[in-house]
Amino acid sequence: MAELQNLAYVVVAASDLAAWRDFAANIIGLGIGDTDAGAVGLRMDGHPWRILIEPGADDDLTHAGWDLGTAGDLEDYVAALRAKGADVREESAERAAARHVTRLFSLADPIGFTHEFFTGRTGLRDDGGNLSPILRGQGFVTSDLGIGHILPVCKDYEEGVRWYRDVLGLRYSDRIRQEMAPGIYADATFFHTATGRHHSLATGAFPSAKRLNHLMLEYRDMNDVGLACDRAKKAAIPIVLELGHHPNDQMFSFYMRTPSGFGIELGHGGVVIDEATWAPQIYDVMSDWGHVRNMAMVD
């Protein structure tokens, strides 16, 4: 059965591209690659870009790009979506070329951004992404695991969970339901793709002014997490959650605000799921140590 292989890229509409360029290169350590449309392509590896920052007042996630692996699997996946009644559409050759893929389909998410499904990423290079020299380690964990994860916040949490599981076909990883005050819970459900990063997408039940609560990128070297946190503090970038550790995906990380207001989590050490041995659990804490909250993700 055809299914999503990984989260390969995201697209963000941003009001301040210059701020994003500086933030990406000098705080996170990403490589920079301009595009013909005046956007900023952010590189993590040999792909032409993994994060595309386009001009726009939205300051939010607009597209999430999913790799299907082969042309046959892409066709089968699209056929399965249509059999479920999903209004999935093939994009033009020009749009596919702009995304650096050979074929591209799209489907609207209920909360207002678009999922894109593709095969055949083009424009691959062997330069490692020309990453910023501020990195100590060997860059980011990508390859067949994709770029990391996104956490969009659904208007109807239970319906959103069903849509990501039953329509997109994501695999259930686990759930965290933490009592924040008597009778008041923070709740999140986590999903993985066929290649097994603990979650490529999660969704939660909590207030959010943005569609995207946060994007996660994973460093290969733990030291780069701490160094990025130090750089962010020195640059007076708001730290949302201090250094800490999640019990479910085992990620050591911190969270800060991006120039668009949503969060970014920078981490190390995330779990890759082995379906033969994985047993989903329900956890009662979001973090088993650290992650002291300084502020809301967005005001």
Express each pLDDT in 123-146 by its tens digit: 999 999 999 999 999 999 999 999
Domain coordinates in residue numbering, the chain: 6-121, 144-290
Q: Is the pLDDT of residue 248 over 80?
A: yes
| DSSP summary character for residue 286 | S
Q: What is the pLDDT of residue 33?
A: 85
Domains 6-121 and 144-290 share a fold: yes
Angle at 158 between CA 154 and CA 162, to 5 degrees: 95
Judge contact between 173 and 147, C-beta under 8 A: no
The CATH label, of 3.10.180.10, 3.40.50.620, 3.40.228.10, 3.40.50.2000, for the domain at 144-290 is 3.10.180.10
Q: What is the pTM of this model?
A: 0.96
For range 243-264, the mean pLDDT: 98
Judge contact between 152 and 168, C-beta under 8 A: no
For range 46-74, the mean pLDDT: 97
Q: Is the pLDDT of residue 208 over 90?
A: no
Class of domain 6-121: alpha beta
Q: How far from 288 is each of 137, 162, 292, CA to CA, in Å? A: 26, 27, 11
Mean pLDDT of the chain: 95
Burial grade of 250 (CB within 10 A; 0-12, 13-18, 19 or more): middle
Calculate what percentage of the chain has a pLDDT beyond 70: 99
Is residue 151 very low, low, confident or very high in pLDDT (cuts 50, 70, 90)? Answer: very high
Is residue 279 very low, low, confident or very high in pLDDT (cuts 50, 70, 90)? Answer: very high
Q: What is the pLDDT of residue 298?
A: 67
Q: What is the pLDDT of residue 1?
A: 81
**CA–CA distance, 178 with 119 (Å, rounded to integer):** 38
Is residue 299 very low, low, confident or very high in pLDDT (cuts 50, 70, 90)? Answer: low
**CA–CA distance, 284 with 82 (Å, rounded to integer):** 37
Judge contact between 239 and 233, C-beta under 8 A: yes
Judge contact between 35 and 52, C-beta under 8 A: yes
Q: 200-214, 227-241, 249-263: which has the minimum mean pLDDT? A: 200-214
